[in-house]
Amino acid sequence: MTQLKNIPTLVWVILGFQLFRLALVPNMGMMPQDAYYSLYAHHLDWSYFDHPGMVAYLLFLFEWIFGHNLWSIKLMDWTVSSLGLWFFYLLASQILSKKRALVAAFIWSSSLILSVLSLNTTPDVPLILFWTLALYSAHKALYQGSKVHWWLTGIWMGMAFQSKYTALLLPLGLLALLIIDPTLRIQLKRKEFYLSILIALVIASPIYLWNAAHDFASFGFQTTERGSSFGLSKKSFGLLGGFLGSQMLVIYPVVFLSMLSLCGVWLKKLWRHKRFPAGNQLFLAVFFVPTFLGFTLISPFYWVKINWLIPGFIGGILAISMFYKSRWLPWHISIQSALHLVLVGQILFYLVPVQSDDTYWGWDKLNESFQNYTQTHADHFLFSSDNYKTSAIMQWMNPKSNWLGPNTLGGQGLQFGILYPNLDSLAGKNALMIDSEPRFKNGDRSLNPPEKLQDYFTEVHTLEPILIKDSQGKLMRKFQVYQAINYHPKGDATYTKRSIK
C-alpha cells in the first residue's frame, strides 16, 4: 500500500495519470468549447466578448505549428495543463517538504477536473498555468527576497488576467497578504510590489482598450448580465446540492471536504481569537479562501459552474497537503483510477448519452448529413440560435463558410455578435437554421417552428430532421432543420406561411 515513505510509487502514479490523458487526446472528439475558442483564434483580436484572448493566442500558435485539426487543439490543452502541473509541483516544493509536495502533486494530478482541462479547451487552461506561476514567483519574491521574481509576478498576473477575469483575485490577494502579515507589511513601502502591479496592468491593457472600443461589452457580460439571475429561488437547494456533488466528484470528496473544513478552522480562529493563519498558511489562504469559499457561499443563489473554483484549488490543495493522511492515499489512488476508467469508457463507447450540446459525440455525423441540405440550398445563409455551440462546431468543420449565431434572431450572440454586428446585408435573403433538440422524445419533425423565426422571416418550412444514431441504430441526437424565407434583420417581418416539406 502507498505510504508517504513510498515516494517512487507516487511519482509513477502522477506520471501515469498525465500519460493516460495524453493517450486519450487522439480519441477525444470535438467539444463545442474547442470550436468556439478556435473561432477566437481564427479572428485574432485584443480581447473577445466573453473572455480575454490568451486561449486564442495559444490555439493560434498550436494551429500554426500543427495545422487546422483537432489534434492541435487537444495538444494545446494537454501541454499547457502539464506545464501547470509541473509548476504546481515546484510551488509545492517551495512550501512543503518533498514528501508533502508529491502528495499535493498527486492530489492535483489525479483529479477529474485536471482531466477536463487536459481534454477540453477553456480559458481555465492558461489561467491555471499563469495563476500557479504567479504564486510561485510571489512566494520567491516575498520569502527569498528575489527582485527578479517581483517582476515575474507582475508578468504572470498580467498573463493570468489575459486568460480570465478571475485573475483579478491575484493582485487583490497579494495586497491582502501584505496588509495582514506584519512581517511582510514593509513591502508596501518598497517599489517592487507597485512595479509588479504596473507590469500586470500594462500586460492586461489590451483588454481595457478592447472593452472601451466595444462599449465595455465583455466587462458588462461578466458582471451585470451574469448577476441579473442572482437570488434565492425554489431551485436553491438543488443548486447547492448540484454544486457540492459536482465539486466533490471533480476534485475528490475527501479533498473538497478537507478544504471546506480547513476554511472553517481558519474562520473559527479569526472569529474567536482574532488571529489569521501565519506564514505559508496565510500565503495560501489569501489565494484560496476568496475563490473557494466565495463561490461555495453563492452556490444556493446562482449556478456555479464546475470550473469556477479551479484557481482556489491550487492554494487549497497545498494547504490540506500539510496534514493529508498517508493512510488515505491507497483509497484515493484506487477511487480516482476507477473514475478515470469510467471516463475512458464514456469517451470510447459513449456509455451514457448526454442530454445536452456539451458533448463530443455526433457532431461529425451532423456535419456530414447537413451537407445534403447545403447542396440543395446553396444560396441560403446558415445559422443556429441554440447558444454558440452548434454554430461554432459547424464553423470549425466548414472553415470556408460563415455560420451565424443567436444574434440572427436578436439573441445574445456572444462572439458571433462581435464578428457580425450588422446583418442588414442579409435582408431579403433565405436561410437554413439548425435547431438542436437535446431532450427529444421521438424522431419526428417539428410541427411548430420556433416562434422567434416568425419575427425575422415571412415564411418557415420545416425540413426533415437530422437524426444521429449509434452503431446499434439507437437514436442518440436530434437536430431540427428549417428553411426560412425573406430575412428581416430588424425583427419586423410579417409572418405569412408555415409548411412542412
Helix (H, G, I), strand (E, B) or coil at 354: coil
Cell numbers representing residue 41 in the block: 483564434
Question: What amino acid occupies position 5?
Answer: K
Query: Which pLDDT band holds residue 335 (cuts at 50, 70, 90)?
Result: very high
* Gyration radius (Cα) of the chain, Å: 25
What integer pLDDT is reported at residue 6 of this predicted model? 61
Name the residue among 315, 308, 305 with its Cα closest to residue 255: 315
Query: Domain locations in the chain?
Result: 229-321, 363-500
Average of pLDDT values for 395-419?
Answer: 96
Query: Which pLDDT band holds residue 226 (cuts at 50, 70, 90)?
Result: low
Q: Is the pLDDT of residue 4 over 70?
A: no
**Running DSSP on this structure, what letter comes out for residue 436?**
E
Q: Is the pLDDT of residue 362 over 80?
A: yes
Average of pLDDT values for 441-460?
Answer: 93
Euclidean distance between CA atoms 135 and 319, whole angstroms: 13
What integer pLDDT is reported at residue 1 of this predicted model? 40
Query: Which secondary structure element, helix H or strand E, spans residue 462, and what is its range?
Result: strand 457-462
Cell numbers representing residue 249 in the block: 466528484
What integer pLDDT is reported at residue 224 of this predicted model? 73
Q: Is the pLDDT of residue 236 over 50?
A: yes
Q: How many CB atoms lie within 10 A of CB 421?
A: 10
76-130: pLDDT as tens digits = 999 999 999 999 999 999 999 999 999 999 999 999 999 999 999 999 999 999 9
Euclidean distance between CA atoms 127 and 164, whole angstroms: 6
What integer pLDDT is reported at residue 116 of this predicted model? 97
Give the angle 209-212-214 at the CA atoms, nearest 5°.
Answer: 110
Average of pLDDT values for 166-191?
Answer: 97
Buried b (16+ CB within 10 A) or exposed e, 350-372: beeeeeebebbbbbebbbebbee
Euclidean distance between CA atoms 135 and 152, whole angstroms: 10
Q: Is the pLDDT of residue 41 over 60?
A: yes
Cβ neighbours for 34, distance < 8 A, ≥ 6 positions apart? 70, 73, 74, 120, 121, 396
Euclidean distance between CA atoms 454 and 461, whole angstroms: 11
Give the angle 229-231-234 at the CA atoms, nearest 5°.
Answer: 105
Euclidean distance between CA atoms 324 and 261, whole angstroms: 12
Q: What does the CA dihedral 155, 319, 266, 309 come to, rounded to 10 degrees?
A: 60
Give me the sign of the Cα torsion angle 111, 117, 122, 126: positive
* Cβ pair 396, 40 in contact under 8 A: no
CA neighbours within 13 Å on the CB side: how many for 50? Answer: 19
Q: Is the pLDDT of residue 359 over 90?
A: yes
Name the residue among 409, 411, 393 with its Cα closest to residue 401: 393
Q: How many CB atoms lie within 10 A of CB 191?
A: 11
Euclidean distance between CA atoms 363 and 468, whole angstroms: 9
Name the residue among 154, 160, 157, 155 with its Cα closest to residue 196: 154
Q: Cα dist. 444→237, 354, 447, 465, 468 in Å?
A: 36, 20, 9, 7, 13
Give me the sign of the Cα torsion angle 122, 124, 127, 129: negative
Q: What does the CA dihedral 60, 61, 62, 65 come to, rounded to 10 degrees?
A: 120
Q: Which residue reads 474567536 in cell numbers?
A: 272
What integer pLDDT is reported at residue 429 of this predicted model? 98
What integer pLDDT is reported at residue 2 of this predicted model? 47
Q: Is the pLDDT of residue 372 over 90?
A: yes
Q: Is the pLDDT of residue 381 over 80?
A: yes
Mean pLDDT, the chain, as a whole number?
95
Q: What is the pTM of this model?
A: 0.96
Q: Is the pLDDT of residue 11 over 70?
A: yes
- Percent of the chain at pLDDT exceeding 70: 98
Helix (H, G, I), strand (E, B) or coil at 472: coil
